[in-house]
Amino acid sequence: MIINDVFETITGDGKYTEAYLVNHRGEIPVLSGKTNNNGVFGYVDEYDHDLPQCLSYSKDGEHSGTLFLQQGKLCLTSHVNILKLRDKYSKKVDLLWFKYKYEPIFKSLVRGKFGIPSLPSDIVKNMVITIPGSDVQNEELTRFIKREEVICILRSLIKEVDERITKLQQIVFKEKSGTIVSGEMLLEPLPKNSGLTEKFLYDYSDPTFNEQLPVFNGANTPSGFLPSYSLKNIEKDIIVYQKNDAILIVRKGVKAGTLFIPRENKYIVGEDIVIVKFRDEYKNKIDSHWFVREFNKSFRLNTTGEEGSATFSVMKMNKMQFSIPSLPTQKKQVEKYAKLDKTVDELLVLREFLIKKITSISNITLV
């Protein structure tokens, strides 16, 4: 049989944007393609569906194919679908068993090019499944749960490592004295590119080409890539920045206010990044890597809005105050930060080992 025989598919609505959530605050969960908080994106004042226990799955993004158990009054964004058991199977399928059994297959069916993964509804509807009797489901579920307990222990270790990394990255060696400069006097905003949507990146992507330009747009990791040759085929001019040209600031979302300097030799910046450089008066007086490490926390604290929908603005940046010590002092502090970063790198290696361990355990066939 196929999934469409067993489940009814309920789709979402594109109206549930961050702005909509701000204007319709309430207690009804809105589901999205996120994986934290059981896929809940936010809360609104009215519901679209009141459902018995069912499954949601992420349709697109890096978490495509992730399944969650859901129940009750809720709304759906366009990035998530609901699978509701048809009446004939309502008492024949343990949905927790189904999640453990078939989530790996959901994820294996994800399609898409270079940074834009998706799981189309028609692929899900036609996915072949087998529904054994309740005894078999219960037996398999017991083994799934034992495996999940081991994975949970490993995830808790990863969480501890992440907390340690965060503490190390937040350590700053501030000097008591320094020249006080406002953000407006210190930092000059630079132009960025508009219209770099997922569809745009998809249309011009070519993962077979060697020289790929990362596109930063809403996070400190690339949201996609463009082959360098494609810039000649795009009707509008695309601004390309060089390594160490500027400092980038995430404009909105969970990482709003995060400062970073891309490591790539060339890169492209979209609308959801604030990109700045030091004004001429200060460009030879500040070590950019020192600045990022010294003030990253301050920028994060100068966002507006709630976590997950926070924003950082140039207006806020202009009002910030920065204490700038001498360049030799900055260089000494950079050396101290380098020692901390060495420890961070060691922890990242441990983190990667734990992630691989989870992957290997997850791939073990239990049935």
Q: Apex CA 15: angle with CA 10 and CA 20, to 5°?
A: 130
Spatial contact of 85 and 6, defined as CB atoms under 8 Å apart:
yes
pLDDT band at residue 48, thresholds of 50, 70 and 90? very high
Give the Cα separation of 46 and 344 in Å (integer).
Answer: 45
Q: Which residue has the higher pLDDT, 118 or 319?
A: 319
* Res 308: pLDDT: 64
Starting at the edge strand found earlier in the chain, the sheet holding 80-85 runs 7-10, 80-85, 49-58, 67-76, 25-31, 40-44
Kindly state the helix (H) or strand (E) to which residue 7 belongs, with its residue range: strand 7-10
Give the Cα separation of 47 and 32 in Å (integer).
Answer: 14
Spatial contact of 317 and 270, defined as CB atoms under 8 Å apart:
no
Give the Cα separation of 227 and 310 in Å (integer).
Answer: 32
Q: Apex CA 50: angle with CA 44 and CA 51, to 5°?
A: 125
Average pLDDT, stretch 118-135?
93
Give the Cα separation of 257 and 129 in Å (integer).
Answer: 45
Residues 6+ apart with CB under 8 A from 150: 361
Q: Which residue has the higher pLDDT, 113 or 278?
A: 278
Residue at 288: amino acid letter? S
30-34, 186-190, 363-367: range with lowest mean pLDDT:
363-367
Q: Is the pLDDT reported for residue 115 higher than 60?
A: no
* Res 311: pLDDT: 92
Question: C-alpha 107: how far from its chain's center?
Answer: 17
Q: Is the pLDDT reported for residue 206 higher than 80?
A: yes
pLDDT band at residue 45, thresholds of 50, 70 and 90? very high
Q: Which residue has the higher pLDDT, 44 or 232?
A: 44
Spatial contact of 177 and 330, defined as CB atoms under 8 Å apart:
no
